[in-house]
Amino acid sequence: MNMTPHHCTLRQFQYAVAVAETLSFRRAAERCRISQPSLSAQLAQLEEMLGVRLFERDRRHVLITSVGQEILERAKLILRETDDLVALASRSADPFSGMLRIGVIPTISPYLLPRLTPALREAYPRLTVRWVEDKTWVLTRHLETGQLDAALLAQEADIGDVEKVVIAKDPFVLVIPRDHALAITTRDVKVAELRDTLLLVLQEEHCFGQQAAIFCSNKNAAIDAFKATSLTTLVQMVAGGLGATLLPELALRYELADANLCVRAFGKAAPSRTISLVWRKHHPFEAALRQVAATIRSAYATPPAKHGVRDRRKVVGATSPPNKAPQPTRGPLRGSRAAEL
Q: What are phi and psi of 280, to 5 degrees?
A: -70, 150
What are the structural domains of the chain?
A: 10-91 (1.10.10.10), 98-167+275-301 (3.40.190.10), 169-273+316-340 (3.40.190.10)
Output the CA torsion 263→266→271→277 (10° steps): 60
Measured CA angle at 155 (ends 153, 159), to 5 deg: 80
pLDDT at 246 (0 to 100): 87
Give pLDDT < 70 ranges for the chain. Answer: 1-4, 88-94, 204-206, 209-227, 305-341
The model scores a pTM over 0.95: no
Distance separating alpha carbons of residues 23 and 116, to the nearest angstrom: 38
pLDDT at 179 (0 to 100): 84
Q: Which residues pair with 102 in a beta bridge?
A: 131, 150
CB 112 within 8 A of CB 300: yes
pLDDT at 55 (0 to 100): 92
Q: What are phi and psi of 239, to 5 degrees?
A: -60, -30
pLDDT at 293 (0 to 100): 96
Which helix (H) or strand (E) segment holds residue 236: the answer is: helix 231-239
Which helix (H) or strand (E) segment holds residue 165: the answer is: strand 162-177
